[in-house]
């Protein structure tokens, strides 16, 4: 039996979308008259220099939205608030890891953005050029993004944890003219030396397009400055005007490219356009996060990932809210850093990932208990399926049973949230993203594109293009076609497996390549993981399949344990039994391996692909540039050799 959690009546009464009928009315209108629906939203929620000629153009699989319309993302995020009474409202509330803080009003942010846009202009950069932004989580990161957006320079933010190699590949693929960086940033009380990595990426002359580097001074440590190539941000800004008109850009102008790992070794540059992207980021802020004028909103992601683009920078600033930004790690100086920030700034809406929640569960409830979390009214989750046990902990320990949880399913490619509960309307079930957003038509199908029955697993597809969808893969339209629109012809293939229950709720089961088949039973790695982490001794689990002579595939589990005395042999037997009991005998793991850490990407996703390689071939090949700590993999592979 699924547990159902309706939102509390007080929340529902004040919500932007209140009650199931209101949700249904929006959904049905968007389904039946999509162009009218989006045109109305675009007119009401964004500023346009010139209205579009027509709403939608579709040359499968290439979409255009608001064709002929002229707008500017930076204008929408700044000028219209400054002109509309929010000049003194705090736009960004920032806390550095060492404890320094900044509070930047919309008026001040506009001045900062204009000044830096004038710097970019003075270096000869113009609409259509490309900038790589490789910065720590400081306010100048959104300033740089918005300055690019103001002029029509397409930006690509590279997460500060990426190596010089990964950075180089991105500069090259994008053909960027400029790299915007900082000397370094703070993480776990250590300096992340960003400028050194930029020097390494540019060293051998491998990036001929990138002629200039602009460096913001954050840590004030010693760095090399290459004459004629590197310039200090603060020196270039001297004497620059704080006014800079926003370019009137085509609605389809490329706003940004964000690289994400694909199935091959080469990262894909996901390209987003201007008008449709901003519209859907804006609408989902209102629908999913129920933004109200007085809200203090905090998304704990890094801006280097799509979640930070849409839900730290563009979405929150477009709706004129206050967006909290924190530079560092959640465990520095101690495991209550996040909760101290929530209490200090009276955060109302908090958005994070299941991985983070599970890591915090592992440390115990004493950390959140030290702080007053009563300002919270809504919680969110993103990035991977949230196991019901973690959902319930989040609800009980952080939300005190009072806050609805929005489990938001979407992807770098979708630009904005696709499936999530509107919290004033849709009762939640732990582990389910619940119902689609207006204009999103998900379906569960088999590989022939035929719908599967409710309750059965299948491929999650989206049947209709939406405003914030990726427009292409940068420089590789063929790959875009092949990857997303050819697996099931004519529809968008998400790469996720899912099922829909009899209430129409969607349950995301993980990437398609994470689905195992054991004795002909389809089994999601996630289901097994979810079962394992319910066991009181287990902190985290990652499950992969390995080839098996008799059953086709067998379940292999990598498990980290909570602190305490454990007898691995006994516990291994117990956990296999536990999984068989939780799911069914067919799911009984072949193997349980205990480890002190799991290999994760820097955004916190467990890299199951690496584990699969370890269990099948004992070694790791392919792209590991997104891995946070290579030594985890080396240890796991070595462990295998000893067996």
Q: Does 157 contact ligand WTA by CB under 6 A? A: no
CB-nearer residue toward ligand WTA: 287 or 345: 287
Pick the stretch among 75-83, 236-244, 506-514, 615-623 that binds ligand WTA (CB under 6 A): 506-514
Q: How many CB atoms lie within 10 A of CB 97?
A: 20
User: At closest approach, how far in Å is the CB of 408 from ligand WTA?
Assistant: 5
* Rounded-to-integer distance, Cα 30 and Cα 418, Å: 13
User: At closest approach, how far in Å is the CB of 512 from ligand WTA?
Assistant: 9
List 384, 527, 529, 540, residue binding ligand WTA (CB under 6 A) = 384
User: At closest approach, how far in Å is the CB of 425 from ligand WTA?
Assistant: 18
- The radius of gyration of the chain from alpha carbons, rounded to an integer in Å, stands at 24
Pick the stretch among 11-19, 364-372, 383-391, 546-554 that binds ligand WTA (CB under 6 A): 383-391
* Site pattern 430..459 for ligand WTA (x: CB under 6 A): ---x--------------------------
List 41, 511, 588, 602, residue binding ligand WTA (CB under 6 A) = 511
Pick the stretch among 75-83, 97-105, 507-515, 534-542 that binds ligand WTA (CB under 6 A): 507-515
User: At closest approach, how far in Å is the CB of 97 from ligand WTA?
Assistant: 24
Q: Does 383 contact ligand WTA by CB under 6 A? A: yes
- The count of residues interacting with ligand WTA (CB under 6 A) is 20
Q: Does 382 contact ligand WTA by CB under 6 A? A: yes
- Angle at which helix 525-534 crosses helix 568-582, to 10 degrees, equals 120
Pick the stretch among 55-63, 138-146, 404-412, 468-476 that binds ligand WTA (CB under 6 A): 404-412
Number of continuous H segments (helices) and E segments (strands) in the chain: 22, 30
User: At closest approach, how far in Å is the CB of 564 from ligand WTA?
Assistant: 30
User: At closest approach, how far in Å is the CB of 523 from ligand WTA?
Assistant: 16
DSSP letter, residue 216: E
- Beta-bridge partner residues of 166: none
Inter-CA distances, 119 with 55, 130, 144, 222, 257, Å: 35, 15, 10, 24, 22
Pull the structure tokens for residue 63.
């979409």
User: At closest approach, how far in Å is the CB of 572 from ligand WTA?
Assistant: 28
3-state secondary structure at position 471: coil
Q: Does 260 contact ligand WTA by CB under 6 A? A: yes
List 74, 411, 428, 468, residue binding ligand WTA (CB under 6 A) = 411
Nearest Cα residue to 15 out of 403, 331, 374, 340: 403
Residue 392 burial by Cβ neighbours in a 10 Å radius (0-12, 13-18, 19+): middle
User: At closest approach, how far in Å is the CB of 415 from ligand WTA?
Assistant: 10
Pick the stretch among 194-202, 206-214, 316-324, 402-410 that binds ligand WTA (CB under 6 A): 402-410
Instruction: Give pairs for 261-266: CB < 8 Å, separation 24+.
Output: 261/601, 261/623, 261/626, 262/483, 263/513, 264/623, 265/622, 265/623, 266/169, 266/623
Q: How many angstroms separate the first and last alpha carbons of the chain?
A: 40
Whether 107 and 88 have beta carbons less than 8 Å apart is answered as: yes
CB-nearer residue toward ligand WTA: 219 or 353: 353
List 76, 90, 307, 318, residue binding ligand WTA (CB under 6 A) = 307
Q: Does 409 contact ligand WTA by CB under 6 A? A: yes
Whether 170 and 132 have beta carbons less than 8 Å apart is answered as: yes
Q: Does 106 contact ligand WTA by CB under 6 A? A: no
CB-nearer residue toward ligand WTA: 355 or 412: 412
User: At closest approach, how far in Å is the CB of 360 from ligand WTA?
Assistant: 18
List 156, 322, 412, 553, residue binding ligand WTA (CB under 6 A) = 412
User: At closest approach, how far in Å is the CB of 187 from ligand WTA?
Assistant: 20
Pairing of strands 130-134, 178-182: parallel
List 135, 151, 285, 306, residue binding ligand WTA (CB under 6 A) = 306
Whether 459 and 306 have beta carbons less than 8 Å apart is answered as: no
* Rounded-to-integer distance, Cα 480 and Cα 472, Å: 6
Q: Does 639 contact ligand WTA by CB under 6 A? A: no
DSSP letter, residue 145: H
* Rounded-to-integer distance, Cα 582 and Cα 584, Å: 6
User: At closest approach, how far in Å is the CB of 533 from ligand WTA?
Assistant: 15
Pairing of strands 591-594, 552-561: parallel
* Rounded-to-integer distance, Cα 77 and Cα 352, Å: 23
Residues 463-502 that bind ligand WTA (CB under 6 A): 494-496
User: At closest approach, how far in Å is the CB of 420 from ligand WTA?
Assistant: 7
Whether 150 and 119 have beta carbons less than 8 Å apart is answered as: no
Question: Which residues contact ligand WTA by CB under 6 A?
Answer: 260, 306-307, 382-385, 407-412, 433, 494-496, 508, 510-511
């Amino acid at each position: 039996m699924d547990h159902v959690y309706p939102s509390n009546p007080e929340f529902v009464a004040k919500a932007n979308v209140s009650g199931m009928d209101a949700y249904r009315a929006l959904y049905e209108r968007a389904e039946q008259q999509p162009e009218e629906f989006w045109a109305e939203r675009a007119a009401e929620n964004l500023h346009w220099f010139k209205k579009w000629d027509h709403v939608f153009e579709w040359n499968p699989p290439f979409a255009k939205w608001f064709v002929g319309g002229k707008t500017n993302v930076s204008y929408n995020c700044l000028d219209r608030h400054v002109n509309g009474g929010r000049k003194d409202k705090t736009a960004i509330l920032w806390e550095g890891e060492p404890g320094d803080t900044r509070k930047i009003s919309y008026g001040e942010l506009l001045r900062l953005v204009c000044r830096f846009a004038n710097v970019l202009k003075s270096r000869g950069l113009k609409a259509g050029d490309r900038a790589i932004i490789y910065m720590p989580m400081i306010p100048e990161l959104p300033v740089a993004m918005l300055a690019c957006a103001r002029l029509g320079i397409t930006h690509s933010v590279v997460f500060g944890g990426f190596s010089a190699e990964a950075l180089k590949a991105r500069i090259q693929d994008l053909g960027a003219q400029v790299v915007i960086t900082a000397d370094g940033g703070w993480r776990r009380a250590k300096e992340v030396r960003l400028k050194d990595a930029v020097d390494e990426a540019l060293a051998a002359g491998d990036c001929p397009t990138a002629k200039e580097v602009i460096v913001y001074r954050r840590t004030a440590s010693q760095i090399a400055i290459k004459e004629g190539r590197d310039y200090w941000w603060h020196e270039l800004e001297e004497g620059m005007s704080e006014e800079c008109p926003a370019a009137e850009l085509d609605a389809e102008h490329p706003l940004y490219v964000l690289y994400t790992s694909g199935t091959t070794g080469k990262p894909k540059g996901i390209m987003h356009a201007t008008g449709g992207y901003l519209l859907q980021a804006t609408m989902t802020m209102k629908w999913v996060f129920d933004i109200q004028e007085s809200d203090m909103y905090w998304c704990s992601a890094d801006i280097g990932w799509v979640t930070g683009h849409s839900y730290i920078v563009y979405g929150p600033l477009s709706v004129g809210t206050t967006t909290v930004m924190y530079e560092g790690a959640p465990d520095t100086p101690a495991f209550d850093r996040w909760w101290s920030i929530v209490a200090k700034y009276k955060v109302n809406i908090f958005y994070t990932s299941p991985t983070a929640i599970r890591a915090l569960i592992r440390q115990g409830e004493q950390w959140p208990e030290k702080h007053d979390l009563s300002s919270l009214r809504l919680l969110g989750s993103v990035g991977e399926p949230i196991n019901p046990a973690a959902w319930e902990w989040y609800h009980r320990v952080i939300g005190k049973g009072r806050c609805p949880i929005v489990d938001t399913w979407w992807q770098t490619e979708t630009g904005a949230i696709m499936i999530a509960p509107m919290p004033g309307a849709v009762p939640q079930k732990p582990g389910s993203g619940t119902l689609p957003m207006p204009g999103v038509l998900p379906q569960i199908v088999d590989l022939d594109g035929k719908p599967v029955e409710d309750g059965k697993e299948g491929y999650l597809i989206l049947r209709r293009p939406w405003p914030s969808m990726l427009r292409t893969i940068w420089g590789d339209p063929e790959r875009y076609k092949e990857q997303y629109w050819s697996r099931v012809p004519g529809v968008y293939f998400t790469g996720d497996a899912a099922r829909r229950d009899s209430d129409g709720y969607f349950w995301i089961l993980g990437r398609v390549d994470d689905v195992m088949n054991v004795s002909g039973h389809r089994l999601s790695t996630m289901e097994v993981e979810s079962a394992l982490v319910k066991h009181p001794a287990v902190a985290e689990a990652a499950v992969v399949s390995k080839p098996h002579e008799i059953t086709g595939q067998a379940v292999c589990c990598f498990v980290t344990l909570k602190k305490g005395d454990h007898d691995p042999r006994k516990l291994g037997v117990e956990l296999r039994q536990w999984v068989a009991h939780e799911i069914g005998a067919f799911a009984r793991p072949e193997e349980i391996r205990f480890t002190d850490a799991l290999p994760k990407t820097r955004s916190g996703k467990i890299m199951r692909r690496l584990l699969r390689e370890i269990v099948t071939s004992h070694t790791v090949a392919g792209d590991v540039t997104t891995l946070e700590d290579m030594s985890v993999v080396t240890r796991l592979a070595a462990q295998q050799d000893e067996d």
